[in-house]
Structure 1
């Protein structure tokens, strides 16, 4: 059985832990178990309940009113929400619920139906990206079970590749970006999303993929002379030495700018090489992309 902390519920639902505690005291839909050390543990059903209740509450329903509804009525009310943003959030919540249950067929069906009705581009921007952001896959991986993460990201990876193949811009940008993940980094979804965004802006993208030795990066960079290199560090192997990686990069590719995003950039406190730039948050990444012309 999945067990979630109150912090997990906060991260996935957007409802502050303090508010969740108040809901527990006043209403009937949350009855968490307690560990031997008195830590709250929530079930999969309680996570789903919080996701649904938070969505209805956000779009005008009072918690006291929702508390009197049965599960079927809650689902019906959510489906009939008229706000477009609310329906997108409903789909993201459905993806989270299917991920928690490891119902991969249902997970993929949600994506495929949205692709069929709205197209791959809108599915990536309106559903896949918000889902990745909400569960933390783009930035860190400690909100969910690694097995859940690997299974759903493999499905998303396939959809992103389809989106990349079809990405097109009437405006061509003369800049070229070389994208790679260093040795020990296999979490490719964030980098694939960057590939999709850059190609959509009309850029020429050279994509080396995951777990690439620096000597290979150096060879391609010297041969193709890209305007910048880009890597996204989500959750590298324990033996990955970030400082050593930066030093080796500066030695091998002194004339090539490297842009790095991901969790490790937030944690690194030492001086970074002059040809390296950190993007420490998703807004900074999006600003970087918007500035490319």
Structure 2
């Protein structure tokens, strides 16, 4: 069971701490617990209730009206708003609540509606990626546990794979071939899957190897088929080996491929003197690079 300070709730709900205190005193929206030294703290159910309150309040309902509703009535109104409102704040709050409650129906309803209206690529860029940023904060502060994080990550993973499988298996003549992988210990698979989707949508040929791929495996792949670009990610959590050591080993064992790197740790290194290494600082730069190739 997670325990939250009032500053944690401020970050997670978007409601200022001063406003939370005022709501507590005036409307008894929630009642904080207190430590022996009289410091406020909150529990999981408090977070759920405040997420509902925040969503209703952001959609124009006065706090006095919200306070008069029962918990079931609030939840019912939240479900109604989430199903018809496509504003970014509403969706982010609703997706967060579906994660806390592990509600697959609510999560899929919001994402699928966006896909229908915006298309898959825009939905991931404008809805899912901002949500993943908030999900990282939820995980970092202990607001969600590993089971909740795995639950929602696998829902997103399934949707990306389904969208990728729906693309026609086309390959342009003389177009570059990309091999996508994650080294041992790197866990940014959702980002890798999305890059694979973007490349396939732009009709490039891709070889998706996934996570925990060793250099020997990459060498075998380059011997089996022509690979022009190896693409991988080094996040700030990657500690399996020094980035420079991995790059040197890949270049030695895959002499005909160019290595594309992204992620926080990749941007900390300067490979400017090596024509076979390119660092792309983010998704936008990656898309520009791919567009120039096309």
Fold in common (TM above 0.5): yes
Please state if 1:240 is matched with 2:237: no
**What are the ranges of 5 or more consecutive residues in structure 2 without an aligned counterpart?**
none
Q: Secondary structure at the match of 1:226?
A: coil
Task: State the match for 1:276 in structure 2.
Answer: 277
Task: State the match for 1:132 in structure 2.
Answer: 132
* CA pair 117-99 structure 1, distance change in 2 beyond 3 A: closer
Instruction: Tell me the distance in 2 between the aligned counterparts of 1:284 and 1:43.
Output: 41
Instruction: Tell me the distance in 2 between the aligned counterparts of 1:168 and 1:37.
Output: 63
Q: Secondary structure at the match of 1:205?
A: strand
Instruction: Tell me the distance in 1 between the aligned counterparts of 2:36 and 2:218.
Output: 50
Structure 1 residue 179: deviation in Å? 0.5
Structure 1 residue 180: deviation in Å? 0.4
Instruction: Tell me the distance in 2 between the aligned counterparts of 1:261 and 1:37.
Output: 46
Between 155-164 and 24-33, the greater mean CA deviation after superposition: 24-33
Report Cα offsets for 1:63-111 as digits up to 9, x if no partner. 566555544454455424797423x75455444334324x3xx325642
TM-score by length of 2: 0.72
Write the mapping of 1:49-64 to structure 2, written as runs, cut at 5 A.
49-61=49-61
Task: State the match for 1:156 in structure 2.
Answer: 156
TM-score by length of 1: 0.72
Structure 1 residue 165: deviation in Å? 0.3
Structure 1 residue 166: deviation in Å? 0.6
* CA pair 225-2 structure 1, distance change in 2 beyond 3 A: same
Instruction: Tell me the distance in 1 between the aligned counterparts of 2:280 and 2:71.
Output: 42
Q: Secondary structure at the match of 2:211?
A: strand
Contact map agreement 2:53 2:66 (CA 8 A) in 1: yes
Task: State the match for 1:145 in structure 2.
Answer: 145
Q: Secondary structure at the match of 1:197?
A: helix
* CA pair 64-109 structure 1, distance change in 2 beyond 3 A: closer
Structure 1 residue 136: deviation in Å? 2.7
Q: Secondary structure at the match of 2:164?
A: helix
Q: Secondary structure at the match of 2:278?
A: strand
Structure 1 residue 135: deviation in Å? 0.8
Instruction: Tell me the distance in 2 between the aligned counterparts of 1:271 and 1:11.
Output: 35
Pick the aligned partner of 1:107 from 95, 104, 108.
104
Instruction: Tell me the distance in 2 between the aligned counterparts of 1:155 and 1:81.
Output: 18
Task: State the match for 1:22 in structure 2.
Answer: 18
Structure 1 residue 37: deviation in Å? 8.4
Instruction: Tell me the distance in 1 between the aligned counterparts of 2:176 and 2:280.
Output: 19
Contact map agreement 2:171 2:205 (CA 8 A) in 1: no
Structure possessing the higher radius of gyration over alpha carbons: 2
Structure 1 residue 196: deviation in Å? 1.6
Q: Secondary structure at the match of 1:212?
A: coil
Instruction: Tell me the distance in 1 between the aligned counterparts of 2:290 and 2:6.
Output: 35
Q: Secondary structure at the match of 1:167?
A: coil
Instruction: Tell me the distance in 2 between the aligned counterparts of 1:291 and 1:30.
Output: 54
Contact map agreement 1:99 1:148 (CA 8 A) in 2: yes
Report Cα offsets for 1:34-65 as digits up to 9, x if no partner. 56788764322333334334434444445566
**What are the ranges of 5 or more consecutive residues in structure 1 without an aligned counterpart?**
none
Instruction: Tell me the distance in 2 between the aligned counterparts of 1:49 and 1:67.
Output: 11
Instruction: Tell me the distance in 1 between the aligned counterparts of 2:281 and 2:258.
Output: 16
Report Cα offsets for 1:136-170 as digits up to 9, x if no partner. 39xx9635433322233233322322121013599
In angstroms, what is the RMSD of aligned CA positions? 4.2
* CA pair 58-170 structure 1, distance change in 2 beyond 3 A: farther
